[in-house]
Structure formats: C-alpha cells, structure tokens
Structure 1
Amino acid sequence: MKQISVLVLLLMLASCSEKPVEVQLATANVSPGFNYVLDTVFIDAGEEQIYLEMDLSMSDYSAREGILYNLTPESARVEVINMETLKLDSIINYKINGPNSVKQYFPFGLKKTLFDNTFFKEYKVIHKLNAEGKKIDSYELINRELSGDRLPFDTEIDGLGEIATDGSYLASFYGNFKIGGNVLGIAKVSLVDRSLKLIPIDFWDQLKQYTITVDYDIGKRNSSPELKYLLLNGPDIILSTSASNELWYYDAESGTVTNKTYHSQITSDKKSGNYRQDITNQRLFMYWVNRKNDEVTFGPLLKDQNAQRFYRYSRELDKSNPQRPKYIYVLTVFDETLEQIHEQKLQNYIPIIGKYFEEKTFVHNGSIYTYLKKENQLAFIRLKPSFEND
C-alpha cells in the first residue's frame, strides 16, 4: 500500500490577481533574545504496536485537544495519542463496511475538527462522521456534485488536501495530474454548501524545472518532483514548496494572491535546477536525485496558534570542507504577518524531508515536534523555541 501512497503523492506533486512582493530583511536578521532547547521524546504504547508503516503521513494533530490521531488505512483503526502525557490513550476502530463505512476506495488521511466531527479523506471522496462515529455526509470532488466555479476539461481536484480546523472547507491542488500535466492552482471546496472556488496560481512552470525524470524502458517513467505544501490560516491559504524560499498567500476576503520571497543568510534561497534531463537508466537517475537532495530543501510552514508565529525547517549540504561535508539545519521564524523575524542555524540533526515524504511535524504547547524514525517505537525530536519577550 505504501507504493500506492507514493504514487498519489507524486500526482499531487476564476479570477485572482497576483502581487509579487520582495521581502527586504535586516542585515543580521537575528533576534538576540532567541534560544532553543532540543531533545527526543518517546511515546509509551503499552502492549500495543503503533502503526508506523506510513511514517505518520496519514495522521492528524488536534491543537485544541493536544491529541495526535494516527490512521491505519487498511482497517480504519485510529490510535489516540496524548501528546501531553506522551502515551497512547485509546484506539478507535471505525467501520469499513455498512452505512458508517469510512472506506469507499482507500483512506489516505483524517481530520478531527473543533466540533468533534471527523473527516476521512480518499482521493476523490471525503466522508464526514459525527462524534458518535455516525456518517452524516459524503462529498465527491467532481463538477456535477459542486456549485460555483467549474473544473476545466481534463482536470481534477486532489482529495488529499487540507481541511480547515472548523470543518468548513477543504483546500487542495487542482489540475491535470497525469505525467506531463500541469497543476493550475488551489481549489477551495466549501463543506457547508458544496460550492467550489478555483484560485489560479502560476507556480507550476517554475517548479517543473526542479523535477528529474527517467525514461528507462518503453512506457516506463520515474520522476523525483519537489513537494508542494498547503497551510490553512483561518479562511486564508498559504502555498509553499520544498524548492524555493518563498510562498503564495491567498487572502479570502480580497480574493487576491500575494507572492512573498525571502532571503536566507545561512542557506541558498532555491535549488539550482541544473540537472541532467536525458536520463535513461535508474542508476544515473538516482545519482542526480541524490545530488538534488543535497541542495537546499525547505520543509512545510507550521503555525503556533497560541504565539501567532510560523516556523519552518530547512536543510542544505555544506561542502566547505570537501573531506567532511555535512548538512546545515536551519529554523526560520515568521511573525503573524509572515514577515521573517529570525533564522537560527541548529547544532543538531533535524529529520525534515525525504525523497517523497516530509516528516510529520506540528506545534504542541509551543514546541515543534518532528517524527523520528525508530524501529517499532514512536519518537519525536522536540524543539522548544523561546524569545526574550515571551
């Protein structure tokens, strides 16, 4: 099933005005009162075995409850992990048959809302259950089931998008997800009145230059794309990628999209894009993929709801000492208006991103938790940032 999920994630890889904004940063770009503490924490699962096959990619963290909900897709078993006590609290076994089934095709994720509803996401279908586990609605992400904007011919909505914490809408990418197709922007689907808003964003051509593709046999192709991230900020939507130090911000009230670019004094601001394209064998393909992955890589934006700050990890290989090259890890901090206020070179390894999967990362009680792979045990690297004026 992991291969199916990888394929879907690769596939993942109306009128709005776009306003480019160049963000000018102070020369030092550091906050003198900033500090951080880094440690590793483990989850006590008792006699149970926590599902780790998909590296928590199908889980959802509820900031209101301080709970991580972890889905086993084949059985619809959900582990309820208390991040305050660092223990597995309970297990919920949802139905995969009958009127309350959460499995029409194959579940790829879930979302627990502020009102105790739970959404289960499949590629083109979403199921909504109430607090008692009764299915109260299903949504199909196709034109005939939605009002408002219409999807252009031969395009679709990726059902594996993000659902708002109040359950009011889903935001996801739309476009032609076939090989050679284009992602056209973001689809915002109201889960209240089933209306569709298409938000065109012209970022795909720039992102495609960072994709390495191999045609190694007739009709056989493999590729290594960059990742696209969506973060919901109330009714607004933030798009960023793993390839460049920038974001696109959709303001729901004005209906405009603003492109913000940033500058780092520690790492590069984007990948080079200088990769060999005429690749015909898997070995050469992996060589170029590894070279690309050594370039700067940006993780997803995270929001601390209490402090009203955003965080992001990034990574780049430092080749200043050819005998002992090593990765540089950086934490970047943004204020509530997404102005960059600090960047910190970290002294320790942070598992931020892989070839296809970003590591599960979220903010709990002011600390940043990042999934750490440990055999048969759930663990997190925990970074607690602090500012002098907090």
Structure 2
Amino acid sequence: MKKLTPLILLVLCLACGNPTDKSNQEEVNFTFRVDTVMVDAGEEILFLQSALSHSSLSVDQKKLFNFSPKSELEVIDLESLKLLDKIATDKEGPLGTGWPYAIQVDQTGNMVFYGVEEVRVFSSDLSSMKRYQLTTEALSGLEPEMLSMFNPKITYGNLLYGIYETLEQVPQGIAIVSMEDGSVKKIPLDLAGRIAPYTYLLGSDRKVFEMINLELVDKSLILSTAYANEALILDLESDSVTVKTFHSELTSDKKKIPIRTSAETINEIDDLIKESKKDVTFGQFYFDKMHRRLVRFSRELDREIGDSLIFRNVLTVFDKELNQLAETEVSVDPFSKKFFKDGKLYSYINVEDELGFAVFTFDF
C-alpha cells in the first residue's frame, strides 16, 4: 500500500442543529483525519479522464469497478490498493454494454449500465444480460412525461428510480419503474420551482441545469439540488415527502438567482455558468452504512486574487434522520467521485495522472 502523510487533523466542537428548531441542537465532538493513498496499477494505465464518473463500488466494498471508453472494466482492489484486472467487453451484441453514461453495482452484485433511454443489467460475472428500454413508448403510465435522460437513476431489486420531466425538460418528480412489466408510478414533487430560476436556455429550446442528486438510504430516497441547502426525503413505503432545510455558518444557504439565463452560443452559456459557479453550490449526499450517517460537500467563492478564484470547501455531517451535526472547511475537491468503505470516506484525487484517494477517518 502506498500511503502519504496525513493531510488534516481537526477537532471541532460545534452546535449545528435544525435551524427551525433550536431545541434539537446538540453539541458534537467531531474529529477526523485525512490520509492520501495511491493505487498501484503496475505497468497499466487507468482511465481517469472522466474522474471516475463511470465507476461503482462492489457490494462488499472491497473492489471498485471503473468503465473506460475502450469498453474495459477496470477492477481495483481497495484492500491492497492495486489494479486486479481489465475485463474486455463488447459494445453491442447479446452481451453488449452499449454507450453508458454511468454504471452501478446494485445490492445483489449485478452490474448495471445506464444508457440513453435504456438500462442493461448484467450478472456479477458479466455472463448474462437483460436490456430494458426506458422510452415513453416502452413504459406504461409515464405519458405525457418522459424520464430525464441523464439525471441520475438508481436500481433496487426490479425497480428503477429516476426523475421524470415534461417534454420541455422541466423536472416534475420521481418515477418508479418496474423493469419487469414496464409500469411506472409517478410521485409529483415541487422540483420545477426549485430548478426553474437557475435553468439556462441555449437558443430557443435547449435547457441547461445542474443534475438533481439521488441517494437511496434504506427505504427512503433523498433528493437534493445544487441550488439550496435542503433535502427532499421520499418515504418509499408511504410515498410521503418531508422537506428538511439546513443552515450553514460557512456558506450561503441558497444560490443567487442569475440575472441573465439565456444565450445564443455555447461560449455565452459557458460564461454564464462559470459566473454562477462563484455562488454556493451543494453536492450530493453520501451514506455511511457502518455508522448510519450522511455527509455532503459544498463550495462557495471565498475571494479573488487577480485572475485566481479561491473557494471555501465545506464538509457537513448529518445523522441518519438528516439532522445536521457538524460542518467544517476541508481542502479536498468537494465534487470529485466519493464513496464510503468500511466507515471511511474515499474522495478521488489525480496525482500526476495516477489514481489516488483522500481517505477521511471520522471519530465522533
């Protein structure tokens, strides 16, 4: 194992509770350490150009699977921090992976490949595959809406959870798709009002907005956006929705609504989005199954020095009921690929084109 010197050691005593109910606030003794570890790929070159966006953790949390444009599945042993194998796959055919924009190892160990309007579910050894169409025509109960093409989706058992939207790309709520018979159950949520003020229009019809984040925790689905310090919690047994709002002492609680949201060229819209990135941006929630806690990272511009932008990166910790416990500044990229393994949070870093992780060890 390659292991570098610990980067951070902080001890915090913070009183961070639900801002709407001060009686729920509690003092938390919160300690964490961050170590940097490197993966030994031997003579091989790992695919890092997409920053592990096409990767997923195994059910036992011992392996990381990373999918490359060469249709190779890189198998990384997280116990020994070594590349174990590169498995060649086909793009088409009875065992074709297609052109996935994301992959997921589901709770049974199946390998799930998410493509445009489809999902391909492989057995754990990639010896068999089932392909499911996610077009409006192939599903019943979805019309007149459609599944959002690239917003995250999660499979659990024979169900798929995803965002559904109007034909004009306005998010409406959660669609629960039965992959067995193609039936869809729609649960409306107030997503349009949360997204619309921050939606950019390119030309006359193309809409651009940040992805809606999804995290499955037991029998609840947590939805969050990049724009507000809040979470929508969908109880999958009762279909009830709870909205939890939080307060940060280190960042703003809401992104400023942009003055201009329309552009005629890609360069123009890139400039508008780049400017909006100076405001607070909230990342997704990550669930620690071992300690039954969640964490989330956020970022906001701290100051400008000449042409350089200095950001404040913030880590926030919650209990399993999403009560806020603590927050602190950290020095890692808040939006890099992250996952929990054995109660430790792994955050992807690129060290001179080699795969590394900043590993958070928490102590409460």
**Contact 2:136/2:146, CA 8 A, preserved across alignment:** no
Counterparts of 2:311 and 2:186, CA distance in 1: 39
Question: What amino acid does structure 2 have at the position aligned with 1:118?
Answer: M
Residue number in structure 1 paired with 2:40: 44
Counterparts of 1:292-307 in structure 2, within 5 Å, are 292-307=276-291
Residue number in structure 2 paired with 1:162: 153
1:327 is the counterpart of 2:311: yes
The CA deviation at 1:205 is: 2.6
Structure 2 counterpart of 1:153, from 122, 127, 144? 144
Unaligned runs of 5+ in 1: 1-21, 354-358
1:195 is the counterpart of 2:177: no
Residue number in structure 1 paired with 2:166: 176
Relative to structure 1, is the Cα distance of residues 25 and 381 closer, same or farther in structure 2, using a 3 angstrom cutoff?
A: farther
The CA deviation at 1:270 is: 0.7
Greater alpha carbon shift after TM alignment, 37-46 vs 59-68: 59-68
**Contact 1:167/1:191, CA 8 A, preserved across alignment:** no
Greater alpha carbon shift after TM alignment, 192-201 vs 256-265: 192-201
Counterparts of 1:231-246 in structure 2, within 5 Å, are 231-246=215-230
1:185 is the counterpart of 2:181: no
Relative to structure 1, is the Cα distance of residues 320 and 255 closer, same or farther in structure 2, using a 3 angstrom cutoff?
A: same
Q: What is the total number of aligned residue pairs between the two structures?
A: 347
Counterparts of 1:25 and 1:230, CA distance in 2: 26
1:345 is the counterpart of 2:335: no
TM-score of the aligned structures, taking structure 1 as reference length: 0.79
**Contact 1:162/1:232, CA 8 A, preserved across alignment:** no
Counterparts of 1:1-390 in structure 2, within 5 Å, are 24=20, 26=22, 31-72=27-68, 74-103=69-98, 106-143=99-136, 145-147=138-140, 150-153=141-144, 155-158=146-149, 161-164=152-155, 167-176=157-166, 180-192=168-180, 194-213=182-201, 215=203, 225-277=209-261, 279=263, 285-319=269-303, 326-346=310-330, 348=331, 350-353=332-335, 359-387=336-364
Greater alpha carbon shift after TM alignment, 297-306 vs 122-131: 122-131
Relative to structure 1, is the Cα distance of residues 245 and 362 closer, same or farther in structure 2, using a 3 angstrom cutoff?
A: same
**Contact 2:152/2:211, CA 8 A, preserved across alignment:** no
The superposition leaves residues 266-289 of structure 1 with CA deviations (integer Å, 9 ceiling, x where unpaired) of 211010113324655666644433
Relative to structure 1, is the Cα distance of residues 324 and 111 closer, same or farther in structure 2, using a 3 angstrom cutoff?
A: closer
The superposition leaves residues 221-278 of structure 1 with CA deviations (integer Å, 9 ceiling, x where unpaired) of 8765223101112332111011110111111111112221111122110101133246
Relative to structure 1, is the Cα distance of residues 253 and 28 closer, same or farther in structure 2, using a 3 angstrom cutoff?
A: closer
Relative to structure 1, is the Cα distance of residues 283 and 375 closer, same or farther in structure 2, using a 3 angstrom cutoff?
A: same
**Contact 2:61/2:341, CA 8 A, preserved across alignment:** no
Relative to structure 1, is the Cα distance of residues 31 and 46 closer, same or farther in structure 2, using a 3 angstrom cutoff?
A: farther
**Contact 2:158/2:180, CA 8 A, preserved across alignment:** yes
Question: What amino acid does structure 1 have at the position aligned with 2:45?
Answer: Q
The superposition leaves residues 101-129 of structure 1 with CA deviations (integer Å, 9 ceiling, x where unpaired) of 222xx222222234332222211111222
Counterparts of 2:142 and 2:253, CA distance in 1: 34
Counterparts of 1:115 and 1:124, CA distance in 2: 23
- Aligned-pair Cα RMSD in Å: 2.9
Relative to structure 1, is the Cα distance of residues 145 and 48 closer, same or farther in structure 2, using a 3 angstrom cutoff?
A: same
Q: Which has the higher strand share?
A: 2
SS at match of 1:288: helix
The superposition leaves residues 62-100 of structure 1 with CA deviations (integer Å, 9 ceiling, x where unpaired) of 25232111011x432101112222111112222334322
Question: What amino acid does structure 2 have at the position aligned with 1:184?
Answer: Q
Relative to structure 1, is the Cα distance of residues 100 and 310 closer, same or farther in structure 2, using a 3 angstrom cutoff?
A: same
TM-score of the aligned structures, taking structure 2 as reference length: 0.84
Counterparts of 2:211 and 2:137, CA distance in 1: 30
SS at match of 1:352: coil
Question: What amino acid does structure 2 have at the position aligned with 1:174?
Answer: Y
Relative to structure 1, is the Cα distance of residues 191 and 280 closer, same or farther in structure 2, using a 3 angstrom cutoff?
A: closer
Question: What amino acid does structure 1 have at the position aligned with 2:121?
Answer: K
Counterparts of 1:172 and 1:251, CA distance in 2: 15
Question: What amino acid does structure 1 have at the position aligned with 2:36?
Answer: T
**Contact 2:199/2:261, CA 8 A, preserved across alignment:** no
The CA deviation at 1:339 is: 1.2
The superposition leaves residues 305-343 of structure 1 with CA deviations (integer Å, 9 ceiling, x where unpaired) of 111100001111124999997322211111111111211
Counterparts of 2:188 and 2:81, CA distance in 1: 42
Counterparts of 2:64 and 2:150, CA distance in 1: 21
**Contact 1:318/1:328, CA 8 A, preserved across alignment:** yes
Relative to structure 1, is the Cα distance of residues 278 and 110 closer, same or farther in structure 2, using a 3 angstrom cutoff?
A: closer
Q: Which has the higher contact order (CA 8 A, sep 6+)?
A: 1
Counterparts of 1:151 and 1:265, CA distance in 2: 42
Question: What amino acid does structure 2 have at the position aligned with 1:162?
Answer: K
